Chain A
Amino acid sequence: MSSETSAGAPLIVNDVVCGFCGLGCDDLVVEVAGREVRPKASVCPEAARLLRRLDTADEAGPAADEVYDRARRLLDAARAPVFAGLGADIDGGRAILDLAIRHGGVLDHAASDGLFANYAAVQRTGWLSTTLAEVRNHCDVLLVIGEDPTAAFGRFFERALPAEALFTASRHVIVLGGSLGASARRQLGGATVTELAADDPVAALAALGQMVSGPAPRGASFGGATAEALAEAAAALKGAAYAVAVWNAAALDPADLIAERATRLVDALNVTTRAGVFPLGGRDNVTGINQLLLWRLGYPLRTAIRGEASEHDASLYATGAALKDADLLVWVSAFRPEPPPAFDGPVIVIGHPDIECATPPDVFIPVGTPGVDHAGTVFRMDSIVSLPLGALRVATLPSVAEAVRRLVPVR
Chain B
Amino acid sequence: MRIRLRGGRVLDPANRENAVARDVEFVDGRVVAPTGERADAEYELGGAIVMAGGIDLHSHIAGGKMNLARLLMQEDRRAYPEKILPQMSGSFCGCGGGRAVPTAHATGCRYAELGYTTVFEPAMLGANARAAHLEMADIPNLDTGAYLVLGNDDFILRQIAQGAPQEEINAYVGWMLKATQAFAIKIVNPGGINAFKFNARKLDLDEANPHYEVTPRKVLTTLIRAVTELGVPHPIHLHGCNLGVPGNDETTLATIAATEGRRLHLTHLQFHSYGTEGDRRFSSAAARIAEMVNANPNISVDVGQVMFGQTVTASADYMSQYRNRGLANPKKSIGMDIELDAGCGVVPFEYRDKNFVNALQWAIGLELFLLVEDPWRIFLTTDHPNGGPFTTYPHLIRLLMDRDFRNAQLATLNKTAQAHTLLGQITREYSLEEIAILTRAAPARILGLADKGHLAPGAVADIAVHDENADREAMFSKAKLVFKDGRLIVRDGEVVDLAPGTTHVVRTEFDTAIEGKLDAWFDRTVGLKAKHFRLSDGELRGGRGPTVLNCVGGAS
Give per-residue flags for A276-320: 1 if the beta carbon is below 8 A from chain B beta carbons, else 0. 100000000000000110111111100001011111100000000
Cβ-based interface call for A129 (8 A): yes
Whether A296 touches B336, Cβ cut-off 8 Å, given contacts A132-B527, A386-B130, is: no
Query: Residue on A with the closest CB to B131?
Result: A386
A205 to B77, CA, bound (A): 34
Instruction: Give the interface SS of chain B, mostly helix, strand, loop or mixed.
Output: mixed
A26 to B97, CA, bound (A): 36
- Are B72 and A123 touching (Cβ within 8 A)? yes
Count of residues in B whose CB is under 8 Å from the partner chain: 66
A241 to B210, CA, bound (A): 13
Query: Residue on B with the closest CB to A386?
Result: B130
Whether A127 touches B337, Cβ cut-off 8 Å, given contacts A270-B322, A385-B127, A385-B128, is: no
Whether A309 touches B125, Cβ cut-off 8 Å, given contacts A24-B528, A133-B339, A296-B138, is: no
Cβ-based interface call for A388 (8 A): yes
Among B100-123, those with CB < 8 Å from A are 101-106
Name the residue in A27, A122, A384 with the highest tally of chain B Cβ atoms < 10 Å from its Cβ.
A384
Query: Residue on B with the closest CB to A132?
Result: B527
Contacts of B322 in A (CB 8 A): 128, 270
Contact of A126 among B74, B92, B196, B334 (CB under 8 A): B334
- Nearest Cβ distance between residue A237 and chain B, in whole angstroms? 14
Cβ-based interface call for B66 (8 A): yes
- Are B528 and A130 touching (Cβ within 8 A)? no
A80 to B72, CA, bound (A): 28
Whether A387 touches B135, Cβ cut-off 8 Å, given contacts A296-B105, A297-B103, is: no
Query: Residue on B with the closest CB to A14?
Result: B529
Whether A131 touches B105, Cβ cut-off 8 Å, given contacts A26-B528, A383-B67, is: no
Contact of A274 among B125, B196, B527 (CB under 8 A): B196
Among B309-343, those with CB < 8 Å from A are 322, 328, 331-341
Give per-residue flags for B517-528: 1 if the beta carbon is below 8 A from chain A beta carbons, else 0. 000000111111
Cβ-based interface call for B532 (8 A): yes
Contacts of A127 in B (CB 8 A): 334-335
Cβ-based interface call for A374 (8 A): no
Query: Residue on B with the closest CB to A311?
Result: B78
- Are B131 and A291 touching (Cβ within 8 A)? yes
Cβ-based interface call for B211 (8 A): yes
Contacts of B15 in A (CB 8 A): none
A274 to B337, CA, bound (A): 10
Contacts of B74 in A (CB 8 A): 123, 299, 312
A242 to B337, CA, bound (A): 11
Query: Residue on A with the closest CB to B211?
Result: A167
- Are B211 and A131 touching (Cβ within 8 A)? no
Query: Residue on A with the closest CB to B318?
Result: A128
- Are B96 and A134 touching (Cβ within 8 A)? no
- Are B154 and A166 touching (Cβ within 8 A)? yes
Count of residues in A whose CB is under 8 Å from the partner chain: 62
- Are B197 and A138 touching (Cβ within 8 A)? yes
Cβ-based interface call for B64 (8 A): yes
A17 to B102, CA, bound (A): 33
- Are A126 and B336 touching (Cβ within 8 A)? no
Among A100-129, those with CB < 8 Å from B are 101, 119, 122-129
- Are B82 and A273 touching (Cβ within 8 A)? no
Contacts of B341 in A (CB 8 A): 133
A109 to B248, CA, bound (A): 47
Whether A134 touches B135, Cβ cut-off 8 Å, given contacts A126-B332, A159-B527, A309-B82, is: no
Contact of B532 among A26, A297, A308 (CB under 8 A): A26
Cβ-based interface call for A187 (8 A): no
Among B180-200, those with CB < 8 Å from A are 196-199
- Are A308 and B84 touching (Cβ within 8 A)? yes
Contacts of A384 in B (CB 8 A): 64, 125, 127-128, 131, 336, 338-339
A108 to B154, CA, bound (A): 38
Whether A131 touches B333, Cβ cut-off 8 Å, given contacts A90-B134, A296-B104, A385-B127, is: no
Query: Residue on A with the closest CB to B328?
Result: A126
- Are A295 and B103 touching (Cβ within 8 A)? yes
A164 to B527, CA, bound (A): 12
Cβ-based interface call for B62 (8 A): yes
- Are B199 and A241 touching (Cβ within 8 A)? yes
Query: Residue on B with the closest CB to A274?
Result: B199
Cβ-based interface call for A362 (8 A): no
Cβ-based interface call for B531 (8 A): yes
Cβ-based interface call for A137 (8 A): yes
Contacts of B62 in A (CB 8 A): 295
- Are B72 and A387 touching (Cβ within 8 A)? no
Among B144-203, those with CB < 8 Å from A are 154, 196-199
Cβ-based interface call for B261 (8 A): no
Cβ-based interface call for B58 (8 A): no
A379 to B64, CA, bound (A): 11
Cβ-based interface call for B36 (8 A): no
- Are A299 and B77 touching (Cβ within 8 A)? yes
Give per-residue flags for A181-220: 1 if the beta carbon is below 8 A from chain B beta carbons, else 0. 0000000000000000000000000000000000000000
- Nearest Cβ distance between residue B40 and chain A, in whole angstroms? 23
Contacts of B34 in A (CB 8 A): none
Whether A298 touches B96, Cβ cut-off 8 Å, given contacts A128-B336, A134-B339, A383-B64, is: yes
Query: Residue on B with the closest CB to A388?
Result: B532
A114 to B536, CA, bound (A): 33
- Are A297 and B94 touching (Cβ within 8 A)? yes
Cβ-based interface call for A248 (8 A): no
Closest 8 CB pairs of A and B: A298-B77, A126-B332, A298-B96, A133-B339, A128-B335, A126-B333, A126-B334, A308-B92
* Between-chain CB contacts (< 8 Å), 18 pairs: A24-B528, A101-B94, A122-B72, A126-B332, A126-B335, A128-B336, A129-B336, A129-B337, A133-B525, A133-B527, A274-B337, A295-B67, A295-B70, A296-B105, A297-B103, A307-B92, A379-B131, A388-B532
Known A274-B337, A387-B130; further 13 A-B contacts with Cβ < 8 A: A101-B92, A122-B72, A123-B71, A129-B335, A131-B337, A133-B339, A166-B340, A167-B198, A167-B211, A297-B96, A308-B84, A309-B82, A388-B130
